[in-house]
């Protein structure tokens, strides 16, 4: 459970977050603006803003996050409700929030703790908003994918999961004979699902292409049995990959 | 005369501890912390991008590094603010000393933000990597970053030495 007013930097430093699902949330926090911004920005703010390029949201989507909302009635009572993060944003800067309603907390289910997951982002510079970001999470047992989550940001009116692409991966054998074919079909499904725009950061064609590339790389990373399990860091100032120090993978 | 009579129209009182001293300022609702600090004389806090990108307005708020341009003054109520003026005591702070030795400032405009950023990072993570230093570095338009980074590295090594000798 993350409180809505938790600062991004505090989340990044929390041990439980670093251990959770390959530290996918830490990866998102690491790419979240400058230290100053991470000390000011909050989890609830990043979600409620409903920016299509929000960095925390893909990571929270692949962790099946639920939101706790609250609003005060004229009589002074507090009305709470829970909604899935998936579907909370209805478009750029619009959400299902009622007038006067606040995001008060984010709940991440305990079962996602052991999932393999990764967040990736590419921007003009590290501190800028994402040109494209994505997160993937796989639940794997005996090399078999039991469930899959793919979420992409900055390529669609909202940060979004792509269930059709997830379905291509479920049941597959990690690095089995048809694994790369499955990954290819998943990427195709994402590319045909998303509706990216062209703006000062990137063109829609570039976004559509790079989105697939990032997903491929993340899927390769999570499928790698030898991937290092520690918290992802920047490799260098020029790199946007949440790779692992010294691994040099791409 | 009661203190209420001093309140100017459209202004509200804001209590702050700046560099260890208690102050009450009259501020407008829309004032940023940057507006207030500069108006009240802390000119080391620089106004540049005002979009939380450059870091020149960095201050420590309750110990954590924030952009004062993007913090509403009233959010800082009852908080503790430190600007670069708080770094030096009777002598320069070792980080300032290192900047001086490396001639790390050219026009000097971004240096207060740079000093506070580097200090805040190394206070929290004394073994911060080169990538961490670069990531937190304030934007500078004239000097470049080599000398400030060299100065910060020297300061970081000094921290490591003082830990080792303890």
Report which of B119, B70, B82 is spatially closest to residue B111, judged by C-alpha positions: B119
Location of structure tokens 């750029």: A92
Which of A33, A127, A236 lies at the smallest CB-CB distance from B131? A236
For residues A112 and A101, the answer to whether their CB atoms sit within 8 Å is no
pLDDT digits (tens, 9 = 90+) for A73-93: 999 899 999 999 999 999 999
Would you say how long chain B is, in residues?
A: 166
Write down the mean pLDDT value for chain A.
89
Q: Which of A110-114, A119-123, A126-130, A189-193 has the lowest mean pLDDT?
A: A126-130
Give the distance from CA B113 to its chain's centroid: 5
Which of B66, B121, B131 lies at the smallest CB-CB distance from A40? B66
Q: Which helix (H) or strand (E) holds A48?
A: helix A43-48
Is-above-0.80 flag for pTM? Answer: yes
Domain extents in chain A? 2-240
Residues of chain A contacting residue B67, judged by C-beta atoms under 8 Å apart: 34, 36-37, 40
Task: pLDDT band for B8, please (50, 70, 90 cuts).
Answer: low
Q: What is the mean pLDDT of residues A230-241?
A: 40
Interface residue of B64, B71, B110 to substitute, partner A, most A CBs within 10 Å: B64
pLDDT digits (tens, 9 = 90+) for B87-110: 998 999 999 999 999 999 999 999
Question: So what's the pLDDT on residue B142?
Answer: 84
Question: So what's the pLDDT on residue B7?
Answer: 57
Q: What distance in Å separates the CA atoms of residue A83 and residue A81, rounded to the nearest whole number? A: 7
pLDDT digits (tens, 9 = 90+) for A145-170: 999 999 999 999 999 999 999 999 99
Report which of A86, A52, A93 is spatially closest to residue A66, judged by C-alpha positions: A86
Interface membership of A72 toward B (CB under 8 Å): no
Residues of chain B contacting residue A7, judged by C-beta atoms under 8 Å apart: 64
Nearest-neighbour CA in chain B from A55: distance (Å) = 17
Q: What distance in Å separates the CA atoms of residue B95 and residue B151, rounded to the nearest whole number? A: 7
ipTM score of complex: 0.85
pLDDT digits (tens, 9 = 90+) for B24-37: 999 999 999 999 99
Residues of chain B contacting residue A126, judged by C-beta atoms under 8 Å apart: 135
Q: Which helix (H) or strand (E) holds A9?
A: helix A8-13
For residues B90 and B97, the answer to whether their CB atoms sit within 8 Å is no
Contacts of B21 (CB under 8 A, 6+ apart): none
The single-letter DSSP state of residue A79 is E
* pLDDT score of A207 more than 80: yes
Q: Where are the alpha helices (H) located in chain B, listed in sequence order? A: 33-39, 94-101, 111-124, 130-136, 146-165
φ, ψ (nearest 5 deg) of residue A131: -80, -40
Structure tokens at B145: 């970053």
Q: Which fold has domain A2-240?
A: Enolase-like; domain 1 (3.30.390)
Question: So what's the pLDDT on residue A128?
Answer: 85
Report which of B72, B136, B129 is spatially closest to residue B110, judged by C-alpha positions: B136
Nearest-neighbour CA in chain B from A233: distance (Å) = 9
Query: Do the chains contact at B136 and A126, CB–CB below 8 Å?
Result: no
């Amino acid at each position: 459970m993350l409180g809505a007013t938790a600062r991004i930097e505090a989340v990044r430093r929390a041990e439980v977050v670093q251990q959770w699902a390959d530290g996918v949330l830490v990866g998102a926090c690491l790419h979240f603006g400058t230290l100053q911004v991470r000390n000011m920005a909050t989890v609830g703010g990043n979600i409620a803003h409903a920016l299509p390029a929000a960095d925390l949201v893909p990571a929270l989507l692949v962790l099946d996050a639920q939101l706790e909302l609250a609003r005060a009635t004229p009589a002074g009572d507090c009305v709470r409700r829970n909604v899935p993060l998936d579907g909370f944003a209805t478009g750029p800067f619009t959400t299902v929030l009622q007038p006067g309603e606040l995001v008060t907390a984010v709940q991440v289910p305990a079962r996602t703790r052991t999932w393999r997951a990764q967040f990736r982002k590419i921007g003009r510079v590290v501190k800028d908003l994402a040109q494209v970001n994505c997160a993937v999470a796989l639940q794997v047992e005996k090399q078999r994918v039991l469930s899959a989550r793919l979420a992409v940001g900055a390529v669609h009116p909202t940060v979004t999961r792509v269930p059709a692409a997830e379905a291509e991966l479920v049941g597959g054998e990690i690095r089995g004979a048809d694994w790369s074919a499955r990954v290819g079909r998943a990427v195709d499904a994402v590319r045909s699902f998303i509706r990216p725009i062209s703006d000062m950061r990137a063109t829609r064609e570039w976004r559509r292409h790079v989105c697939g590339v990032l997903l491929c790389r993340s899927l390769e990373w999570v499928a790698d049995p030898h991937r290092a399990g520690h918290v992802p860091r920047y490799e260098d100032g020029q790199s946007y990959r949440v790779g692992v120090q010294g691994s040099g993978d791409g | 005369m009661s203190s209420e009579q001093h309140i100017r129209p459209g202004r509200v009182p804001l209590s702050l501890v700046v560099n260890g001293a208690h102050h009450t300022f009259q501020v407008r609702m829309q004032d940023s912390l940057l507006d207030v600090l500069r108006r009240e004389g802390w000119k080391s806090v620089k106004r540049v991008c005002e979009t939380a990108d450059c870091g020149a307005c960095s201050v420590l708020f309750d110990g954590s590094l924030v952009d004062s341009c993007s913090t509403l003054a009233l959010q800082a109520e009852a908080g503790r603010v430190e600007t670069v003026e708080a770094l030096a005591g009777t002598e320069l702070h070792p980080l300032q000393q290192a900047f001086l030795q490396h001639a790390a400032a050219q026009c000097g405009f971004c240096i207060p933000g740079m000093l506070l950023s580097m200090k805040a990072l190394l206070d929290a993570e004394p073994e911060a990597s080169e990538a961490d230093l670069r990531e937190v570095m304030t934007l500078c338009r004239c000097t470049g970053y080599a000398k400030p980074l060299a100065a910060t590295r020297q300061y970081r090594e000094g921290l490591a030495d003082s830990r080792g000798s303890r």
